[in-house]
Structure formats: structure tokens, C-alpha cells
């Protein structure tokens, strides 16, 4: 059985990879090394954040649909459990990111000029 920490780590790695792919697909500029380099980092970050939020919302909606199908007697218990756990992990990830953004903001506000 895979531990909860391993599952979270794998989810974080997958999310990071998807975010990188989305960021690379939104920017067509390449540097001399053949890598992708955004001419506007703000729009790249905005696009990555937008994709992440849309993915989290989609995961929640999928879990709701699977749960509704299960309540009506048409769903597969394994699919329902999987989608609900995936939504739970997504919510935990979103909450963690939010907490870290708030903490970073508070740290910046404590800095002296």
C-alpha cells in the first residue's frame, strides 16, 4: 500500500510537470539552449495559476458527479472512492499553496525599506 506522503509527493510532482508543460505551451520563445523562456513572466505565471485553478475545479466537479452517480446506484465504488480522494488531495494542495502565499506576503510586509 502506498503511503499518504508518497501519494502527495507523486501528486505534487505531477502537478509541477503539468504546470511546466502549460507554461511552455503558452510561450513560444526559446533561448539559446533550446529551452523555453517567457518574454513576460507575469503572464506565464498567470496562465500556470489559471490552469491549476481550473484543474482543481474540474477535479471537484468530477468527484461530485461520481458521488451523485453512486447515490443513484449507477456508480462504481472504486471510481467514486478514487475521485473523492483525488478531490481531497487537490483541496489539501490548494489550501497549502494558499497558506504559503499568505505567509510570503506577511514576510514581505515585515521587511524594512
The reported pLDDT for the residue numbered 8 is 54
For 19-50, how does the pLDDT look when each residue is reduced to its tens digit (9 = 90+)?
Answer: 667 656 655 544 444 445 556 777 888 888 88
Residue 26 inside a domain? The answer is no
pLDDT tens readout for residues 51-110: 888 999 999 999 999 999 999 988 889 999 999 999 999 999 999 999 999 999 999 999
Please indicate whether residue 11 or residue 63 has the higher confidence score (pLDDT): 63
Residue 21 lies in a domain: no
The domain total for the chain is 1
80 within some domain: yes
Give the global pTM: 0.58
Structural domain harbouring 79: 36-108
DSSP string, 6-59: HHHHHHHHHHHHHHHHHHHHH---B-TTS-B--S-HHHHHHHHHHHHHHHHHHH
Amino acid at each position: 500500500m502506498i503511503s499518504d506522503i508518497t501519494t502527495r509527493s507523486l501528486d505534487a510532482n505531477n502537478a509541477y510537470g503539468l504546470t511546466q508543460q502549460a507554461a511552455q505551451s503558452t510561450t513560444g520563445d526559446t533561448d539559446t539552449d533550446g529551452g523555453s523562456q517567457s518574454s513576460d513572466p507575469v503572464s506565464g505565471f498567470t496562465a500556470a495559476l489559471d490552469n491549476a485553478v481550473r484543474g482543481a475545479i474540474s477535479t471537484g466537479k468530477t468527484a461530485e458527479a461520481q458521488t451523485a452517480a453512486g447515490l443513484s446506484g449507477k456508480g462504481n465504488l472504486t471510481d467514486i472512492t478514487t475521485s473523492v480522494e483525488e478531490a481531497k488531495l487537490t483541496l489539501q494542495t490548494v489550501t497549502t499553496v494558499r497558506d504559503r502565499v499568505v505567509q510570503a506576503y506577511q514576510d514581505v510586509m515585515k521587511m524594512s525599506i
